[in-house]
């Protein structure tokens, strides 16, 4: 299978590396040459020269699969698909790595929407094993199964999302947790450090080995049923952006990328924290899944 990765940012060049290491013939496309040249320096030397780097649409014609990683903006993506459709074969599968934009809405820009699908990777893609595969209303079962099998061939852990909903599955779960956590912090019930520790040393630690439904089975559905009776009605159910998230956003405190978010990252602390994260994730992956 010949694979074209469109967009050479962090996710795109990482995907190109992963596909190349798995034996696929890979072309990495980006419309800006400087971005492409920078991406090449960030790809593992073991496969760097096996990848074709291009700024030409024509080099995408022979691709069996295109994975799109352009800007997370509906209009930008639709314009990209409309141009892409002029330069690929009718049999080409087009997958998007959008984090949550509607697959049905995006498919309107593609000449063959039945061959269009969501293919949501998680950052850092070289470590996180999960990939969500999201079917649009017109996506055929054959295409969905093909992409599922591709994910398996990359040694990933795919989850099929059978219906196109906002945020797909993972981000819906994540934001439900975030909403409750930020409500607890905002009401002074736990500190921000305490909230993070709850997940790192308790829930997240356990969920790395047992999913939430498996956790219910181990804890006893009768126990969780009775907890649900009194606790579910008391949980945060606000439909607004959490207050303390909005306050940080309005102050331009976006996290690691601006060296300030819920925490501050002066000097090179942002880089150190990123390296620490990657080392811990890699250690966890190796402990749980390394063959």
Structure confidence by residue, pLDDT tens digits, 189-222: 999 999 999 999 999 999 999 999 999 999 999 9
Over 90: is that where the pLDDT of 137 sits?
A: yes
Distances (CA, A) of 41 to 157, 220, 272, 276: 28, 51, 21, 22
What's the mean pLDDT in 252-260?
Answer: 96
Confidence of residue 88 (pLDDT cuts 50, 70, 90): very high
What is the overall mean pLDDT for the chain? 96
Over 90: is that where the pLDDT of 290 sits?
A: no
Q: Contact 182/242 with Cβ under 8 angstroms?
A: yes
Single pTM value for the model: 0.91
Determine what percent of the chain is predicted with pLDDT higher than 70. Answer: 100
Query: What is the C-alpha to C-alpha distance for residues 98 and 73, in angstroms, rounded to an integer?
Result: 9
Q: Contact 121/131 with Cβ under 8 angstroms?
A: yes
């Amino acid at each position: 299978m010949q694979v074209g990765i469109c967009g050479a940012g962090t996710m795109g060049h990482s995907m190109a590396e992963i596909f190349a290491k798995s034996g696929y013939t890979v072309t990495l496309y980006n419309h800006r040459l400087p971005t492409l040249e920078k991406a090449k320096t960030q790809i593992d030397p073991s496969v760097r020269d096996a990848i074709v780097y291009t700024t030409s649409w024509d080099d995408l014609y022979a691709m069996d699969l295109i994975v799109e990683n352009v800007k997370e903006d509906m209009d930008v993506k639709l314009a990209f698909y409309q141009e892409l459709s002029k330069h690929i074969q009718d049999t080409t599968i087009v997958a998007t790595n959008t984090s949550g934009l509607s697959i049905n809405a995006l498919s309107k820009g593609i000449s063959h929407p039945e061959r269009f699908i969501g293919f949501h990777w998680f950052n850092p893609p070289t470590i996180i094993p999960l990939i969500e595969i999201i079917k649009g209303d017109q996506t055929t079962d054959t295409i969905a199964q093909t992409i599922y099998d591709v994910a398996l061939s990359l040694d990933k852990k795919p989850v099929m999302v059978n219906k196109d909903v906002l945020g797909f599955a993972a981000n819906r779960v994540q934001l439900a947790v975030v909403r409750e956590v930020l409500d607890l912090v905002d009401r002074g019930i736990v500190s921000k450090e305490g909230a993070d520790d709850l997940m790192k040393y308790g829930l997240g630690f356990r969920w790395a080995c047992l999913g939430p439904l498996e956790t219910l089975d181990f804890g006893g559905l009768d126990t969780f049923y009775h907890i649900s009776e009194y606790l579910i009605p008391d949980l945060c159910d606000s439909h607004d952006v959490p207050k303390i998230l909005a306050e940080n956003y309005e102050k331009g405190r976006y996290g690691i990328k601006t060296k300030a978010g819920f925490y501050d990252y002066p000097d090179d602390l942002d880089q150190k924290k990123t390296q620490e994260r990657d080392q811990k994730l890699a250690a966890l992956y190796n402990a749980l899944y390394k063959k």
